[in-house]
């Protein structure tokens, strides 16, 4: 259900770190948002050095954008953002100052997976049982 | 006006399939959202195998994120998501379980095209006539 | 705090143009949204010619998606979109008809940077002083 997109420059995140981070994001998301980790997608966009800028100068932040269904408790989304940001620093060794995590959301009814409209938060079990 | 972003791994979607899918998305979007297909943008991000994960393991889902102006009827957005997801499976042969379509929206007044602020849903004809 | 993502085809924006555009976006954003330019991130996604379509045909629009915190005055977001679109045409020489700028937003509490939850619009000074 969720989509995480991590944007950074080439070689900022070695291959083994990307795999470890994808696993950790799946684990954290599953625990906080009550979705089996099998539904957690993580995409890495590795840009060349002349394609990423902070303050108008080439830079290598790690920008994480997550999409989740609308309706999760706001405090939980904040906790999710905090823990994902912390995981990037802990696993990839990227200073917190270079890590930005942002969540966007839209109604579950605006999303389709496995040919079916996604469930509202709290209705996951019935939806999964229906597959 | 709309932007569709399809993220998957290299070679999941052959070149001819991407072209066919871009055409079909333009057609479906035009029919349901009353926007001429000339305004429909589709971008494909093809990631290397170590840059896309589901459940913490390398995977090849097709993740489609669409941006549309706020204010379209919700049932129409659901229909749009359902038909786009179905088109990915029909045209690209990707199993429905690997296809996720998500729409996000923001106010038309937050978007500019051709140097002009986008019209509210329902005001497209007057806006287009004004070009 | 903000993230700007510019998607186009390879060679549409030469290296020096990308750098100039990143600087100009940082300047415009800083002036209108009252955030120091040091917090403005700009990412360029340069796709191969068979990965970007308008109206179902290969095309080279410049698609700019910006993420900002919810709560900025709506008229300011419109002004921001208008000025960013204008900057793309002025600096990169891309015709206005091929430039689309879209802003999306979500609550500041859904975002973490430097290990801290982002401030609500208007609270930036106190937040920055707290670093």
- CATH code of residue C57: 3.30.429.10
Interchain CB contact of A60 with C (< 8 Å): no
What chain B residue is nearest to C45 in terms of C-alpha separation? B45
Give C57-103 pLDDT, tens digit per residue: 999 999 999 999 999 999 999 999 999 999 999 999 999 999 999 99
Question: In the predicted model, is pLDDT for residue A34 greater than 90?
Answer: no
Q: What distance lies between CA C5 and its chain's CA centroid?
A: 6
Give C105-122 pLDDT, tens digit per residue: 999 999 999 999 999 999
pLDDT at residue B34 in the model:
87
C48: CB partners within 8 A, 6+ apart: C9, C10
Q: Which domain holds residue C70?
A: 3-129
Question: In the predicted model, is pLDDT for residue B131 greater than 80?
Answer: no
Would you call B38 and C54 a contact, using CB atoms and an 8 Å cutoff?
yes
CA distances from A125 to A1, A36, A113, C96 (A): 13, 10, 15, 48
**Prediction ipTM score:** 0.97
Give A62-78 pLDDT, tens digit per residue: 999 999 999 999 999 99
Average pLDDT over residues A95-111: 98
Least confident of A20-24, A41-45, C33-37: C33-37
Interchain CB contact of C10 with A (< 8 Å): no
Q: Please state, for a pLDDT cut of 70, what percent of chain C lies above it.
A: 99
Would you call C19 and A86 a contact, using CB atoms and an 8 Å cutoff?
no
Q: List the structure tokens of B1.
A: 């006006």
Closest CA to A92 of A33, A6, A34: A6
CB contact at 8 A, B85 and A112: yes
A19 HSE (CA, 13 A, CB side): 9
pTM of the entire predicted model: 0.97
Q: How many domains in chain B?
A: 1
CB contact at 8 A, C45 and A80: no
Q: What SS3 class is residue B114?
A: coil
Closest CA to B10 of A104, C64, C47: C47
CA A44 to CA C59: how far, in whole Å?
25
CB contact at 8 A, B111 and C78: no
Q: List the structure tokens of C74.
A: 């709506």
CA C48 to CA C36: how far, in whole Å?
34
pLDDT at residue C97 in the model:
97
Question: In the predicted model, is pLDDT for residue B117 greater than 80?
Answer: yes
Interchain CB contact of B86 with A (< 8 Å): yes
């Amino acid at each position: 259900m969720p989509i995480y997109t991590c944007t950074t420059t080439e070689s900022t995140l070695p291959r083994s770190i990307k795999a470890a981070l994808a696993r950790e994001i799946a684990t954290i998301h599953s625990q906080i948002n009550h979705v089996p980790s099998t539904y957690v997608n993580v995409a890495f966009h590795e840009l060349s050095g002349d394609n990423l800028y902070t303050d108008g100068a080439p830079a290598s932040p790690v920008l994480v954008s997550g999409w989740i269904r609308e309706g999760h408790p706001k405090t939980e989304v904040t906790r999710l953002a905090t823990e994902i940001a912390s995981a990037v620093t802990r696993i990839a060794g990227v200073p917190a100052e270079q890590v930005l995590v942002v969540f966007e959301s839209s109604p579950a009814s605006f999303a389709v997976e496995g040919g079916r409209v996604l469930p509202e938060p709290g209705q996951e079990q019935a939806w999964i049982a229906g597959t």
